[in-house]
Amino acid sequence: MGLSKWVFLIFAIHLFVAKHISSNPVLSPDELAQIPVNFLDVAKKPEIRDWMIDIRRRIHENPELGFEEFETSKLIRAELDRLGISYNYPVAVTGIVGFIGTGEPPFVAIRADMDALAMEERVEWEHKSKVPGKMHACGHDAHVAMLLGAAKMLQEYRHELQGTIVLVFQPAEEGSGGAKKMLEAGAIKNVDAIFGLHVSPAHHIGVVASRPGPTLSGSGFFEAIISGKGGHAALPQHTIDPILAASNVIVSLQHLVSREADPLDSQVVTIAKFQGGGAFNVIPDSVTIGGTFRAFSKESFAQLKQRIEEVVSAQASVQRCNATINFNADNKIIYPTTVNDKDLHEYFQIVAGNMLGPQNVREIQPVMGAEDFSFFAEVIPGYFYFLGMKNETQGPLESGHSPYFKVNEDVLPYGAALHASLATKYLLQHQPSPKRSIHDEL
């Protein structure tokens, strides 16, 4: 490999640290700016790039659902063992927390999610999912590979690090809140800041996109059972029709966003599930409906949740039906809004700008999608960004959760280099201030 690159990288960092420790207030921006560029160069070398591609493909072939990522977790631990990186396991069932550096503060975390989706892959390729009904259709296989790629690079010069980089491999991002369980298990105890990314087919490769403040919406799911009294479809007077009641519930729910929400405060209520009856001439006893609701502020989210509850039961009762509502169906939990720290946003723009050019660091509008990264970012400063992977010359890419979803593997070096750069520079810039001597006080 390009040994000179390593030497240069280490040199650049060493230089910076030496200056910092000697309390020289004038730091060369050029030296700092070179770190992300060098990391990208290293990450594109076959030793890192091909290694990540291989890991990503192995994980892709064996997708596992939330809290069942046993083989994925084993694969990650085997690589960490080979790299000589220490870690805690199990954290939240299958999660892993690795450590690179001094073991002392400051601590900065970089995070990847590990879970796949319950769907059939339709992409015909050599490394297609080998598990029926399961697929990495959100790119979490690539997220794991990129975090390992960063770990491999960072471990090479662990002795240069002034602090500790915490590697967070979390389970169950897709609805079950693996991040919350990791948090409760102490995964980011003492951590000063955390970074996370998501591959994005909406942005070009070499482009990153994010924003300060609320970035991804808060998200909740609900399921309601509307009970009436079934009977002959031609004798409705002897029944209490839950199909009609559920239909009116759904129509009434549409009015929450259109009539009760501030049009400038983005919210969504969608009913995605409607199950009831099975015959043309039988009114069923009950209907099950379900859906999701989204909002950015805590207040709007709480208000929406309360009104969904009220509307479902009150509207059902108009047609003499009873309703029960469950906000934890399928172990889904409520995700808070993902709020990006404003200082980290500025920091990110500099680091990513150094690596990719400022024109490739885009600011986006908030997105109604949700991420359980929000649980981390509620507790410590966090920053979540999208990593573009579209390349027109290779054809269009389907969006996440499509059975035709593909990862452009050219993206892997970018993600690994961003993880490594963000963490390394963060430590450099957050050294504890040197102890003052008495003379300094005078």
Ligand X SMILES: *[C@@H]1O[C@H](CO)[C@@H](O)[C@H](O)[C@H]1NC(C)=O
Strands 267-275 and 286-295: antiparallel
- Judged by beta carbon, residue 138 or residue 250, the one nearer Zn ion is 138
Q: For residues 184 and 138, what is the distance between their CA atoms, to the nearest angstrom?
A: 25
Q: Which amino acid is present at 89?
A: Y
Residue 242 Cβ, how far from ligand X at the closest point, in Å?
A: 8
- Where do the DSSP E strands lie in 26-104? 86-91, 95-101
Q: Which of Zn ion, ligand X, none does 321 bind, CB closer than 5 to 8 A by kind?
A: ligand X
Residue with tokens 């690596």: 355
Instruction: Map the footprint of ligand X across residues 402-421, applying CB under 6 A.
Output: 410
Helix, strand, coil % over all residues of the chain, rounded to 5: 45, 25, 35
Is 393 among the residues that bind ligand X (CB under 6 A)? Answer: yes
Q: Which of Zn ion, ligand X, none does 138 bind, CB closer than 5 to 8 A by kind?
A: Zn ion
- Judged by beta carbon, residue 14 or residue 57, the one nearer ligand X is 57
Stretch that binds ligand X, among 23-31, 224-232, 347-355, 365-373 (CB under 6 A): 224-232
Would you say 143 is a known binding-site residue? no
Would you say 138 is a known binding-site residue? yes
Would you say 174 is a known binding-site residue? yes
Nearest to 153 by CA among 89, 110, 198: 110
Q: For residues 172 and 116, what is the distance between their CA atoms, to the nearest angstrom?
A: 8
H or E stretch covering 209: strand 208-210
Bridge partners, residue 268, by sequence: 294
Q: For residues 188 and 88, what is the distance between their CA atoms, to the nearest angstrom?
A: 12
Contacts with ligand X by CB under 6 A: the residue count is 12
Residue 273 Cβ, how far from Zn ion at the closest point, in Å?
A: 18
Is 240 among the residues that bind ligand X (CB under 6 A)? Answer: yes
Q: Which of ligand X, Zn ion, none does 59 bind, CB closer than 5 to 8 A by kind?
A: none
- In the set 394, 399, 404, 434, which binds ligand X (CB under 6 A)? 394
Q: For residues 383 and 349, what is the distance between their CA atoms, to the nearest angstrom?
A: 11
- Judged by beta carbon, residue 319 or residue 340, the one nearer ligand X is 319
Q: For residues 91 and 87, what is the distance between their CA atoms, to the nearest angstrom?
A: 10
Q: Which of ligand X, Zn ion, none does 284 bind, CB closer than 5 to 8 A by kind?
A: none
Instruction: Map the footprint of ligand X across residues 204-223, applying CB under 6 A.
Output: 205-206
Closest chain position to Zn ion (CB) = 138
Is 322 among the residues that bind ligand X (CB under 6 A)? Answer: yes
DSSP H helical ranges for 256-322: 298-318
Would you say 69 is a known binding-site residue? no
Instruction: Map the footprint of Zn ion across residues 133-162, applying CB under 5 A.
Output: 138
DSSP 158: G
Q: Which of ligand X, Zn ion, none does 228 bind, CB closer than 5 to 8 A by kind?
A: ligand X
- What's the half-sphere exposure (Cβ side, CA atoms, 13 Å) at 89? 24
Locate 24 and state its tokens. Answer: 């020289």
Stretch that binds Zn ion, among 63-71, 131-139, 153-161, 339-347 (CB under 5 A): 131-139
Residue with tokens 């290293």: 42
Residue 395 Cβ, how far from ligand X at the closest point, in Å?
A: 10
Would you say 401 is a known binding-site residue? yes
Residue 386 Cβ, how far from ligand X at the closest point, in Å?
A: 16
Q: Which amino acid is present at 233?
A: A
- Judged by beta carbon, residue 201 or residue 381, the one nearer Zn ion is 201
Q: For residues 59 and 164, what is the distance between their CA atoms, to the nearest angstrom?
A: 27
- In the set 391, 402, 429, 431, which binds ligand X (CB under 6 A)? 391
Cβ atoms 352, 238 nearer than 8 A: no
| Residues at the interface with ligand X (CB under 6 A) | 205-206, 227-229, 240, 321-322, 391, 393-394, 410
| Residues at the interface with Zn ion (CB under 5 A) | 138
